[in-house]
A and B are shown apart, each in its own frame.
Chain A
């Protein structure tokens, strides 16, 4: 049934009298996955481009944070637990040194991939005499459940290395220049469900750019895309909530309150991009005694902050900002493939390079030329 609806939206989009080039950005790995897996780009009018933007928290996790996590795993008597896709993200240290958490584990360090924060709590309770470091990188949707668990009570033997980021400040950065990087925005449904759709009002109201909050099925994305394109044609930019049954006004008040209890908003570095104002979650002072950054400050290498770039030759920063498509990175599919990734965007399940590769996109032409 939803497929039939999707076809109707496609038809409706084709009926619109669109300008010669329209660039619509999405800022969520989940959206990008649906777009690629359903082949949505292949059914759109040729002048409509959908650009993957900042939708991958693992991709922008600062290199120095990852470096610190690796050093803790190698040099401290502690188990580092982190979301699975973090394990293979490379740092910029020389090739003969330990570059990833996976290599640290192979070298004997205790590194455990997890799928949910509760695994950290379970492990810590089951092994009260051991120490654990929970290395958490994520956007609002990840940090809200992390905050909830911390607020409920942090076991004595768990320390925290938090690299949480907020989505909208990255989009605000993209819109800060003279020329907008895109003509329409598909706003992230899950983030809006937590934080409230209102966070995205600045896009139409301050910048005059059409926007719509979207769900994750193909028909839902197509309805949001239709909304954005129709607003563009009618020159009536608003924020339409096309995922209203899951995204109430104000979001999830309880989740927001817990986020606020545990974290404060800080200026935060994004790997390869720089420090974005008010874009990160930092632990509140009450948790300072459990902050791995403070506890293991001696392992951090201050000089790394200057090296906080992407690996040499990797275009991830431009991919994350939607300045280039994954296929426009010179390493895409040559030296950088999922089996031996060069940059984080080819590692993380939410990285645009990885998603495009999984969706079979090998060259820019593949986006459009598949139709029989």
Chain B
């Protein structure tokens, strides 16, 4: 493959090649009819609602993995942050850091995947930027996305969680963490683990109007254990998770057992944790199970009076403290 089919430093020099890169690869795929790639800032007309804004950077290795890639991840991650905040995603901006040597073919796949994810979530890309970094200075491609969303349900917060509330998860945990790790490492482990990388907008949207809904969160880095800690701190209460109820796929469990990981700390990229008043748990479960990606939704725990800590009730009937994540077992997964 010759250089014309790869990113070179010249693609970052601001000249003709930069313009071609933006116009031919990014704008054609991501831009709507109104996108003007020549201006420095997009002009938006926003109605007088409350708006949520979020920004997130994505650095996954490898940039393509079973079940997803960094392009899809960069959209879903930001769309999901808005969704769990009770906001309907509307606009997105993207900043791409491309490493010298990245093949165009790969870049096109990533941008196509980005475009698909954006379309699916109903967001328009209104602004973008690209930079090229020298070879060896940035694992293929990094993306940063900023999302703007219209707030539909504005009172979701860990602070409104109280003892008695129950904790639900929309599907099996740990798929993303294990899929990416298996794709990266040369372990002799077979197993069909795909990332759960997906938009959680449909799952969130379908429960925004449940009055007893207190809090939504997508358990990315640090997994559901880390969400549980956030809850226990905010509510100053004991969070109890029931091991037997937490859905974990068999291959994920197998890899965890072999390598000594706790699946509860592994990242998900397409799941939601909800905290809800106990009498409305069934409503949320019912709606999730009828929505895209919620078939395996479960009630996995509850919030109890007691010191701020997270207790795992093990499947043999014992209990242990689920500590905050100490050292990250899996670097660079989202």
Interface of A with B (CB < 8 Å)?
3, 6-7, 10, 33, 36-43, 115, 218-219, 222, 337-339, 349, 357-362, 366, 370-372
Contact = CB atoms under 8 A, between A and B. Distances in A.
Contact of A339 (B240, B304, B317, B327): B327
Contacts of B187: 115
The 8 closest A-B pairs by CB, nearest first: A360-B321, A39-B318, A6-B316, A370-B319, A39-B320, A39-B314, A42-B318, A43-B318
A32 to B, nearest CB: 12
Nearest to B188: A116
B277 interface: no
Contacts of B315: 3, 38
Given A371-B319, A372-B240, 16 more contacts: A10-B316, A36-B320, A39-B320, A40-B316, A40-B318, A41-B318, A42-B319, A43-B317, A115-B187, A219-B316, A349-B260, A357-B323, A360-B321, A360-B323, A361-B320, A366-B321
A338 B272 CA distance: 30
Interface string B233-252: 00000001000100000000
Contacts of A357: 323, 326
A349 B258 CA distance: 12
Interface string B134-162: 00000000000000000000000000000
Contact of B326 (A115, A349, A358): A358
Contacts of A366: 321
Contact of A360 (B304, B313, B322, B327): B322
A338 B326 contact: yes
A56 to B, nearest CB: 13
B273 interface: no
Contacts of A6: 316-317
Contacts of B320: 36-39, 42, 359-361, 370
Main secondary structure of the interface of B (DSSP, over half): loop
Contacts of A7: 316-317
B311 interface: yes
Contacts of B314: 37-39, 218
Contacts of B321: 359-362, 366, 370
Nearest to A337: B326
B60 interface: no
Contacts of A3: 244, 315-316
A362 B313 CA distance: 17
A370 B327 contact: no
Contacts of A339: 326-327
Contacts of A362: 321
A321 to B, nearest CB: 24
Contacts of B260: 33, 349
A358 B244 contact: no
Contacts of B322: 360
B317 A10 contact: yes
B125 interface: no
A40 B314 CA distance: 9
A372 B316 contact: no
29 contacts: A3-B316, A7-B316, A7-B317, A10-B316, A10-B317, A33-B260, A37-B262, A37-B320, A39-B314, A40-B316, A40-B318, A41-B318, A42-B318, A42-B319, A338-B326, A349-B260, A357-B323, A357-B326, A358-B262, A358-B323, A360-B312, A360-B322, A361-B321, A362-B321, A366-B321, A370-B319, A371-B319, A372-B304, A372-B311
A218 B316 contact: yes
Nearest to B240: A372
A39 B326 contact: no
A357 B321 CA distance: 10
A357 B325 CA distance: 11
A3 B314 CA distance: 10
Nearest to A11: B317
A337 B326 CA distance: 9
Nearest to A3: B315
Contacts of A360: 312, 320-323
Max chain B CB contacts within 10 Å: which of A36, A39, A371, A372? A39
Interface string B288-319: 00000000000000001000000111111111
Contacts of B313: 39, 372
Nearest to B322: A360
Contacts of A115: 187
A122 B194 CA distance: 29
Contact of A338 (B304, B311, B327): B327
A370 B316 contact: no
A339 B323 CA distance: 14
Nearest to B306: A372
Interface centre among B262, B314, B316 (most CB of A within 10 A): B316
Contacts of A358: 262, 323, 326
A199 B130 CA distance: 66
Most chain B CB within 10 A, of A10, A41, A42, A362, is at A42
- Residue in A33, A37, A338 with the greatest tally of chain B CB atoms within 10 Å: A37
A237 B311 CA distance: 37
A226 to B, nearest CB: 13
Contacts of B312: 39, 360
Contacts of A370: 311, 319-321
Nearest to B244: A3
A349 B260 CA distance: 8
Nearest to A222: B316
B195 to A, nearest CB: 23
Nearest to B312: A39
B133 to A, nearest CB: 24
B244 A39 contact: no
A338 B324 CA distance: 12
A366 B314 CA distance: 15
Contacts of A37: 262, 314, 320
A370 B319 CA distance: 6
B326 A38 contact: no
B275 to A, nearest CB: 19
A221 B110 CA distance: 48
A38 B323 contact: no
A110 to B, nearest CB: 19
A359 B322 CA distance: 7
A368 to B, nearest CB: 10
A33 B225 CA distance: 19
Given A349-B260, A372-B240, A372-B304, A39 B319 contact: yes
